[in-house]
Amino acid sequence: MPFEDDPQRLGWRGPRRGFGSRAQGLLLKGLAIAASVVLLIGAVAVSILVFSVVLTAMAVGAVYLWWKTRSIRRQMRAQRRDLNIIEGEVVRDRTEEMTRR
């Protein structure tokens, strides 16, 4: 028996037919297509679920960080009120220097 006609090889359909699906009938091919569509839809559903979980976790993390840094932001705002900014230059209040002397 020649090597090309060996029926035991996986995926081999004959000397001139090449590699292909083992599904011979129309019903089996339809089932294979339906299974592929179901798998594709399932993969998209799982990816949407993972995306929404990650997005929710990021939003919760951002709110937590915002909440924990509120006192620092309040201090920064208080420090900014003490300075007069004119065209990007910082101008100190002279009355504070006068009272120290």
Q: Mind listing the pLDDT tens digit of every residue in the chain (101 residues)?
A: 555 655 555 655 555 555 555 557 888 889 999 999 999 999 999 999 999 999 999 999 999 999 999 999 988 888 777 666 666 666 666 666 666 66
pTM score over 0.75: no
> Tokens 């009272």 identify what position?
99
For 30, phi and psi rounded to 5 degrees?
A: -65, -40
Q: Which tokens sit at 69?
A: 């840094």
**Domain residue spans of the chain:** 3-100
